[in-house]
A and B are shown apart, each in its own frame.
Chain A
Amino acid sequence: MTSFYLVALAVLTVAAFLAARGRAGALGASGRLHSLPTYHGLLAASAVVLPMMLVLAVYGATAPSFVQSQAIAALPGDPLGDDALARATRMREIANAVANPAGATPETLAAAERYRAAQAMADWALLIVGIGLGGLGAAWMVRKVGPHFRARNGFERVVIGVLIACALVAILTTVGIVFSVLFETLRFFTKYSWLDFLTGLQWSPQTAIREDQVGQSGAFGAVPLFVGTTLIMLIAMLIAAPVGLFSAIYMAEYASPRLRGIAKPVLEILAGVPTVVFGFFAALTVAPAIRSLGLTLGLDVASESALAAGVVMGIMIIPFVSSLSDDVINAVPQSLRDGSYGMGATKSETIKKVVLPAALPGIVSAMMLAVSRAVGETMIVVMAAGLTANLTFNPLEAVTTVTVQIKTLLVGDQEFDSAKTLSAFALGFVLFFFTLILNVVALRIVKRYREQYD
């Protein structure tokens, strides 16, 4: 039905365009028009497209739930009182019965009948309302064609409207993120205390499947996850911060054009490698290497040590730090360097005492963005860090992180109402707001820094 509707939409659009343009063209032959005939056509076409797309959107958002509720209401008993899982099962049965009536119970068949009737009703409503509105819009615009009608201005208003809508997608995305994590998080906090979540030392999200199961009460104290995330982030920054900063300094201040020509692509390659590749590298190469190194040194290294994940994450972040630092170092005006060289300072003295202090705000914000990147990184830790929540700062032990737990809790079979699933959203909430604050502050510092030297 939707495809038929889309065909009708296309036909109506083209027809409205041609009709309005033709009419305007005929008028234009006899006298001067305010707007080109094409604009008359475009305006008429948008008078068809906009209302018809709106109707389709409303249909898409409301029809499925309308049809389902109608079908379920046809079932005997109090089906609406059932829980979500049972409803979904019922719905599947009904859908099967619609496709293949053989073997279905009479009740289900009756519901299937209602389903089909409701579906047909919704479809007809879509066709009649949509095509009606589209036709009305077309007729209205075609009638309005005239020498003084400002079709171009009208169409440009439509275009601006579309552009604004597109710009709002960015806002909608943020709103969507905030609401999707916020709602589920609030639901989670009705089942579990938020204070325990933020301060609890015990994380074992396995909840009992059966009432009588032992030892599976589920504890959602997220501190071990925060500690694990922090530990891996610190290891990563310990590598990425000095290496990234020093390579940026070297590239900006020392490197010959030839070396820069080699080093820049190398860093770009590193920046372009997908995180899943780093994860593979961490899990299959770096972790065993660190483990065997530890064995020869007589250290007991876990096979999923925080060190392996942190080191590889640090390597991943190097180009990020270096390109951001490169930007801020290059933004330091040459006159400051000249001033320092002019007094007989060596290059390193100039860098340490003039360039870096001048670039400090930018570098601080680069580091903050890098931290936010490290905290939010998922694949490396999913593949190379552990699953059990150890509360430890020992880099040789296995720890787990916020992102690993989100992934573990949400991948695979899940019921949407369990505390286990909802806790993943609560973790997502913490992650989102932590990185958001870091980003906002960092971007603000950078902006102020840029203004200083512009």
Chain B
Amino acid sequence: MNSLVQTPKTSARAAESTPHSLHPKVVAKDVNVYYGDKHALHDVTIDIPEKAVMAFIGPSGCGKSTFLRCINRMNDTISIARVTGDILIDDQHIYDPKLDVVQLRARVGMVFQKPNPFPKSIFENVAYGPRIHGLARSKTDLEEIVTASLQRAGLWNEVKDRLNEAGTGLSGGQQQRLCIARAIAVSPEVILMDEPCSALDPIATARVEELIDELRQNFTIIIVTHSMQQAARVSQNTAFFHLGILVETGPTDQIFTTPRDKRTQDYITGRFG
């Protein structure tokens, strides 16, 4: 089946399924981020609904990736970054000092811009998360998890005969799907995707987008993207960031058809970006 042909259909489906924002999974209140002296994100307040795809769009340097990395505290790895404000997942403050960042990240998985499989076998790549989090009681369990994850990531048929080969030997699109499989292997509640298709060719992109749409049934997905088309295709809700400010958020069809803010309109119509 040709993936390119399927694209409009996916987007149509995304538009149909409107019952979003039933229950906010992630809630952010007045989030500010500073990199040293630089104020990178100003007072971001947003609700992100459960089991739906939320897209963050905006020109480069607008703070959308920064905000994304706040949600699983990946900014902790940057020593000069400082975050204020509240982010809650299921009403739990994630910047609560008592909260364990390791457990948080098990609940909030992440897929990165560039595919970054570990230099190990495909099996080991996917098994890594379940192993460190103690999710598998036996080897059979582990195999089952790996198989299921690869199946859900749509990679199983391509790799089932070479699970012991290096993950770095796959093609770019396959590597990214491997990273997604790796992320879902620990059954996170939320999956963060930081421009997951920017390093992929159109065909691989289409497959990942399809995958995102399927994963929506079980996971809350937040995706940062440069491409408005992609946002339109895969997301139910969209947030537009500009110069570190969350300008507008709402259902995707509304943002793309009747934006409330002038800046959103300018961006969508391609005045800047």
Whose C-beta in chain B lies nearest to the C-beta of A343?
B129
The CA of A335 and the CA of B109, in the complex, are separated in Å by 15
Check: B2 CB closer than 8 A to any chain A CB: no
* A346-374 interface with B by 8 A CB criterion: 346, 349, 353-354, 357-358
Would you give the shortest CB distance from B187 to chain A, in whole angstroms? Answer: 12
Whose C-beta in chain B lies nearest to the C-beta of A339?
B116
Whose C-beta in chain B lies nearest to the C-beta of A257?
B79
The CA of A336 and the CA of B120, in the complex, are separated in Å by 11
The reply to whether B105 and A344 contact each other, CB–CB distance below 8 Å, is yes
Interface centre among A333, A343, A354 (most CB of B within 10 A): A343
Which A residues lie at the B interface, using CB under 8 A? Answer: 257, 333, 335-346, 349, 353-354, 357-358
Decide: A343 near B186, CB < 8 A? Known: A338-B77, A358-B119. Answer: yes
The reply to whether A345 and B102 contact each other, CB–CB distance below 8 Å, is yes
The reply to whether B105 and A349 contact each other, CB–CB distance below 8 Å, is no
Would you give the shortest CB distance from B243 to chain A, in whole angstroms? Answer: 25
Q: Lowest 10 A-B CB distances belong to which pairs?
A: A344-B105, A342-B110, A344-B106, A335-B116, A339-B116, A343-B129, A358-B119, A344-B102, A349-B132, A345-B132
The reply to whether B116 and A333 contact each other, CB–CB distance below 8 Å, is yes
Contacts of B72 in A (CB 8 A): 342
B interface size (C-beta, 8 A): 30
Decide: A338 near B109, CB < 8 A? Known: A343-B132, A358-B118. Answer: no
Would you give the shortest CB distance from A166 to chain B, in whole angstroms? Answer: 40
* B76-125 interface with A by 8 A CB criterion: 77, 79, 101-107, 109-112, 114, 116-120
Whose C-beta in chain B lies nearest to the C-beta of A336?
B116
Whose C-beta in chain B lies nearest to the C-beta of A354?
B118
The CA of A343 and the CA of B132, in the complex, are separated in Å by 9
The reply to whether A343 and B182 contact each other, CB–CB distance below 8 Å, is yes
Would you give the shortest CB distance from A173 to chain B, in whole angstroms? Answer: 38
The CA of A27 and the CA of B116, in the complex, are separated in Å by 67
Check: B133 CB closer than 8 A to any chain A CB: yes
Contacts of A333 in B (CB 8 A): 116
- The residue from B104, B107, B132, B179 contacting A339, defined by CB atoms under 8 A apart: B179
Contacts of A343 in B (CB 8 A): 105-106, 109-110, 128-129, 132, 182-183, 186
- The residue from A339, A342, A344 contacting B103, defined by CB atoms under 8 A apart: A344
Would you give the shortest CB distance from A237 to chain B, in whole angstroms? Answer: 26
The reply to whether A340 and B118 contact each other, CB–CB distance below 8 Å, is yes
A336-B118, A344-B105 known, 16 other contacts, Cβ within 8 Å: A257-B79, A335-B112, A336-B116, A338-B74, A338-B110, A338-B116, A339-B179, A341-B105, A342-B192, A343-B109, A343-B182, A344-B132, A345-B105, A346-B132, A353-B128, A358-B118
Give 19 pairs: A residue, B residue, CB < 8 Å, sorted on A.
A338-B74, A339-B116, A339-B179, A339-B182, A341-B77, A343-B105, A343-B106, A344-B102, A344-B132, A344-B186, A345-B102, A345-B132, A349-B132, A353-B118, A353-B128, A353-B132, A357-B119, A357-B120, A358-B118
The reply to whether B109 and A339 contact each other, CB–CB distance below 8 Å, is no
Would you give the shortest CB distance from A229 to chain B, in whole angstroms? Answer: 35
Decide: A340 near B77, CB < 8 A? Known: A333-B116, A357-B119, A358-B119. Answer: no
The CA of A312 and the CA of B120, in the complex, are separated in Å by 38
The CA of A40 and the CA of B233, in the complex, are separated in Å by 72
The CA of A345 and the CA of B128, in the complex, are separated in Å by 9
Decide: A341 near B129, CB < 8 A? Known: A335-B114, A357-B120. Answer: no
The CA of A257 and the CA of B36, in the complex, are separated in Å by 15
The CA of A342 and the CA of B112, in the complex, are separated in Å by 9
Quick one: CB contact mask for B166-179 with A, threshold 8 Å, 1 for yes?
00000000000001
- The residue from B109, B114, B119 contacting A342, defined by CB atoms under 8 A apart: B109
Would you give the shortest CB distance from B258 to chain A, in whole angstroms? Answer: 36
